[in-house]
Structure 1
Amino acid sequence: MRNISRRNFLGYSAAASGALLFPRWASGQTTPKPSDKLTVACIGVGSQGLRVMLDLLRIPEVQLVAVCDVNRQSSDYLDWGPHELRDKVRLLLQEPGWGTGLTGPTAGREVAQSITNAFYAKDAGKSRYAGCTAYEDFRELLSKEKDLDAVVISTPDHWHAVIAIAAMRAGKHVYSQKPMAHTVGEARQMAKVAQETKRATQVSIFNSQTADSKRVIDLVQSGAIGAVQRVDIWTTRASAFWKQGLNTPATADPIPAGLNWDMWLGPAPSRPYNHAYLPFVWRAWYDYGCGAIGDMGEYGFDTIFRALDLGAADRVDASSTELFPDCYPVASRLNYNFPARAGKPSVELHWYDGGIKPERPDGFPVDAQMSVGGEGVMYSGDRGKLLTGYMASSPRMFSSNGGLAAPLPALTQANEPFQPLRPELGPTATSANLAHYYEWIHACHGGPPASANYAFEAPIVESLMLGNIAIRTQELLEWDPESFRLTQGSERASSLLMPQYRAPWAAS
């Protein structure tokens, strides 16, 4: 059968898909294309980027037109379970034998392109489809993909701002992985450019859409535990998933075939390749990742910020296990202060990672579990405490004398409007994820801003990255967000506010 082009396929697929998952956009603020397809490129298709790509392929309103990665293809990525990535691809393509010859979890631009073209060919009943283009350099993608509406960024943290800002300047909407930015200055600049370009943005904080988070927000805002003046939040990251507290490698390993190492480094300082940096372990290193608070902080802080109506922190200090020249410590604690808001007191927020946990409150029942799966959040008000799992699950209220308050009613799940159109392809992660994607898609078509947009997330990420500066310097930092300066802190701490990009890279 004949090959089918991208442009011809858009119209064909729209007609063939039948009823859509979500009503067609009727905001009146833009004129959708006849197919109502949002043309999207995925930049960064390692393991996490591939997972997002597999979700997007299931959404009829999205047409994936390009993929980009500095790695051609390799089978050394991270699975969340035995054959997790392989089995997700098999389910999507309805091909039980897909990946039989692969030696491990496989990702990269060539496999992502192959999966996308195979999916669209099968979906259209054609033998071949070649409408998805693969690129090594995102700049080439942005210059050549003339019909591109939006990009999804799933690169390591040090690339987020550079690519997002370039994409917005090129007129593209942006969905990006957490943390939104790698530095305080990048978070501020990304929000500024989003406002200037009027692009729709969303960070991958899916729990902003969950019923669990909304219930906790309502409980706190209703005054159920009184005025909240302290929050404790703890996670088992990073030691549970990757190693930190590492010495900088003194030797170089051979660069794997198909990996453009210089491009992977991008704006970060040049250094020899070593397996200690990737895949996945890059999160541990100052130059590429943001440690535990970068991996998990935005999830937890998002619900807290919404519940307490917080802005950027004005003070933070840190303590930690042994420090290393280029790598985050094994475990750390951060102590934040958030200033008083209209009618609300200032809030202390204490962050613990690497298995450190807060002290058990006085009078707390001996048989009451503080954590859910080793992690949790505790809101302390003047009339009691609210404890939840890290993602706001299993809320439990305790009175001011430490006794368990009346059990909360079971959460009634609303009717899910995002059921999969093609159940034989498996679900798109969870209903919360799908609602999260659709919220961004709707915003791209002129609808309301997505919940985790850059303007909302910027003060959160600003606070997170201030915490990382406190960890690295072990200083008490006082921050004036209005003037964008540290009113207490060393010159070294101030130098870490803004990224030091390697030429020719910039985010402006």
Structure 2
Amino acid sequence: MPKSEKLNRREFISSAATIAASISIVPSSVIAGTGHIPPSDQLTVANVGCGTQGLREMSSLLTNPKIRVVAVCDVNKFSTDYIDWSPYGIRNDIRKTIGDDSWWEGKPGIPGGRDIGQEYVEKYYAKNKASGKYKSCVSYEDYRELFAKEKGIDAVKIMTPDHTHAPIALAAMDAKMHVVTHKPIANRLLEGRKVIQKAKDSGLVSHLLAWSDRPEYRQIKAWMDAGLIGELQEIHNWSYRPVWQQWTKIPTEAQPIPEGFNWQLWLSSVPDMPYHKNYTHNVFRGWYEFGGGSVADMGHYSLFPLFETLGIDRSPVSARAFGTTTREEINQVYQWVKNDVAFPASCLIKWKFPEQESLPGFDLFWYDGGMKPFACEELEEDGNDTPEEGLLIVGSKGKILGGFRGENPVLLPESKMMKGRDSERINSREVDRKTDQWVEAMLEGKQTPGSFTRAQCITDTINLGAIALRAGKKVDFDSNLVKITNDEAANQFLTREYRKGWEI
């Protein structure tokens, strides 16, 4: 293949003096099919994880002229058995991005795997080349091999199951690569702490994709700072999720490992166990071993930017949780099923937070699976009920209600408290949110507002909630000692049993 297609940002910078001596304008032949931005101004990215979400977000990487996707990685070579929210969503996204309405025509199922990821990248870049050909996206099964062999990568985007986020992030930073990851940073509290500390020590740029700029939260803070609801007492946040199937027992039947799927690599740090389709391909999140439940899936989106806006950076001192119970018929008798392997179908979690720099101590409540708080008096006064999803800020003198991520916030009761405040209303549908600030930050070597270094409180909070669910009792947490102080047995949930050679 032409050497120009192999030119990467690091090579470009290191040889800049030599190039400058011979040419004054970067020729289009060295631009890797992504417009006319020279490699020195591009971020070379390896995308690790080519399942549904990895492919869904690929378009934003490919269409950003400041990014050049140079590698993909996935333990699955290729299959069409992925589960998604739409039968044609992934297919249609790829068609639109590569400009080919016939792509995947007449083929069954929902595609995914590293072969699809590589094809996606190369088809997109090929359409912008005069030759109509592009074959410079490398593909790997094992991210460790990728990081060892490919030296020209600036950043790694992690789009894999929750339990693999920490080992991949740590390996990427060991290889001096910047890291952007889907939530959570880790699905174990101690792993999260280690990744965050590595980000601090390395000085590399990191970004948790759940962060977003939310003007709604700034409006909420302005109302709080003005004393309109008094002192903060409680925060309530609720989601209708999970939308995936939940299980209560480890599968007992044996299933053959699909061809082209590296089950041992998928397990990563988790000790060996038999393969089952109920673990993989977008249904991993409900298992304690592999996922973080609905609170990790959605709570990061709503709570991380809220914590940042309100100045909440001191981790909770305790957590208590309840989940739905399950019964099954055994020998003509219904018996309670002890579920210690997966998140419940619905749950309620309460965290107690200490005093913050500018806030008093408060309680945070999470509800999911159809659970939500009853309508408060102020809502009933206006003839309204609690919405399906939402955020409620409770103060000593008043309340603020918004959508799940604080969308369209109002003071309650709205009929009285929002009179004359039309200029303060925010129509969240009109808010322009930047989702790729991490690109500019990494090119400039600056931390983002969603940096791992700012995410310890939210990471502790989410994982402590899971610990409370698994412990089945209130757990007291010492953030400095990183220890459950009232139940020694619960400390096992701070970490995991590691497969030999995969220890973190």
Classify the TM-score, shorter chain: 0.7 to 0.9
What SS class does the counterpart of residue 380 from structure 1 fall into? strand
Question: Structure 1 CA distance, aligned partners of 2:120 and 2:379?
Answer: 53
Question: Structure 2 CA distance, aligned partners of 1:15 and 1:135?
Answer: 20
What's the offset of the Cα at 1:477? 0.9
Partner of 1:26: none
* Partner AA of 1:405 in structure 2: M
1:61 counterpart = 2:59: no
8 A contact 2:311–2:358 mirrored in 1: no
Question: Structure 1 CA distance, aligned partners of 2:209 and 2:218?
Answer: 17
What's the offset of the Cα at 1:80? 3.0
What SS class does the counterpart of residue 120 from structure 2 fall into? helix
1:52-451 correspondence to structure 2 within 5 Å:
52-206=57-211, 208-238=212-242, 241-310=243-312, 311-322=314-325, 323-372=338-387, 374-398=388-412, 404-406=417-419, 408-409=422-423, 410-411=425-426, 432=433, 435-437=434-436, 439-451=437-449
Partner of 1:424: none
What SS class does the counterpart of residue 57 from structure 2 fall into? helix
* Partner AA of 1:103 in structure 2: P
8 A contact 1:157–1:289 mirrored in 2: yes
Deviation by residue 1:195-248 (Cα, 9 ceiling, x = unmatched): 111110111114x2233344334433443322211111111111xx11224221
2:46 is aligned, of 35, 41, 55, to 41
8 A contact 1:317–1:336 mirrored in 2: yes
Which structure 2 residue ranges, 5 or more long, are not aligned?
10-27, 326-337
8 A contact 1:90–1:96 mirrored in 2: yes
8 A contact 1:364–1:403 mirrored in 2: no
CA separation of 1:205 and 1:36: change in aligned 2, threshold 3 A: same
8 A contact 1:3–1:130 mirrored in 2: no
8 A contact 2:5–2:31 mirrored in 1: no
What's the offset of the Cα at 1:329? 1.1
What SS class does the counterpart of residue 279 from structure 2 fall into? coil
Question: Structure 2 CA distance, aligned partners of 1:37 and 1:303?
Answer: 28
Question: Structure 2 CA distance, aligned partners of 1:394 and 1:477?
Answer: 35
Question: Structure 1 CA distance, aligned partners of 2:444 and 2:305?
Answer: 26
What SS class does the counterpart of residue 198 from structure 2 fall into? helix
1:475 counterpart = 2:490: no
Question: Structure 1 CA distance, aligned partners of 2:398 and 2:253?
Answer: 54
What's the offset of the Cα at 1:502? 0.9
Question: Structure 2 CA distance, aligned partners of 1:213 and 1:19?
Answer: 38
What's the offset of the Cα at 1:286? 0.9
8 A contact 2:84–2:282 mirrored in 1: no
Question: Structure 1 CA distance, aligned partners of 2:296 and 2:394?
Answer: 24
8 A contact 2:87–2:109 mirrored in 1: no
What's the offset of the Cα at 1:169? 1.1
Deviation by residue 1:126-184 (Cα, 9 ceiling, x = unmatched): 23211100000000100111111110001000000000011001100000001121111
* Partner AA of 2:274 in structure 1: P
What's the offset of the Cα at 1:307? 3.7
Question: Structure 2 CA distance, aligned partners of 1:369 and 1:306?
Answer: 30
What's the offset of the Cα at 1:447? 4.5
CA separation of 1:164 and 1:366: change in aligned 2, threshold 3 A: same
Deviation by residue 1:387-421 (Cα, 9 ceiling, x = unmatched): 0101211212115x9955325434378999xxxxx
* Partner AA of 1:72 in structure 2: K
1:487-498 correspondence to structure 2 within 5 Å:
487-489=485-487, 491-498=488-495
What's the offset of the Cα at 1:449? 1.4
Which structure 1 residue ranges, 5 or more long, are not aligned?
21-32, 417-430
Question: Structure 2 CA distance, aligned partners of 1:184 and 1:302?
Answer: 16
Question: Normalized against structure 2, the TM-score is what?
Answer: 0.87
CA separation of 1:328 and 1:124: change in aligned 2, threshold 3 A: same
Question: Structure 2 CA distance, aligned partners of 1:34 and 1:162?
Answer: 29
8 A contact 1:230–1:348 mirrored in 2: yes
What's the offset of the Cα at 1:97? 0.3
* Partner AA of 1:62 in structure 2: I
CA separation of 1:327 and 1:3: change in aligned 2, threshold 3 A: same
What SS class does the counterpart of residue 241 from structure 2 fall into? coil
Aligned-residue Cα RMSD (Å) equals: 2.5
What SS class does the counterpart of residue 259 from structure 1 fall into? coil
CA separation of 1:478 and 1:131: change in aligned 2, threshold 3 A: same
Number of matched pairs: 471
CA separation of 1:64 and 1:217: change in aligned 2, threshold 3 A: farther
What SS class does the counterpart of residue 259 from structure 2 fall into? coil
Question: Structure 1 CA distance, aligned partners of 2:415 and 2:465?
Answer: 31
What SS class does the counterpart of residue 290 from structure 2 fall into? coil
Higher relative contact order (CA 8 A, sep 6+): 1
Partner of 1:420: none
CA separation of 1:404 and 1:40: change in aligned 2, threshold 3 A: same
CA separation of 1:342 and 1:263: change in aligned 2, threshold 3 A: closer
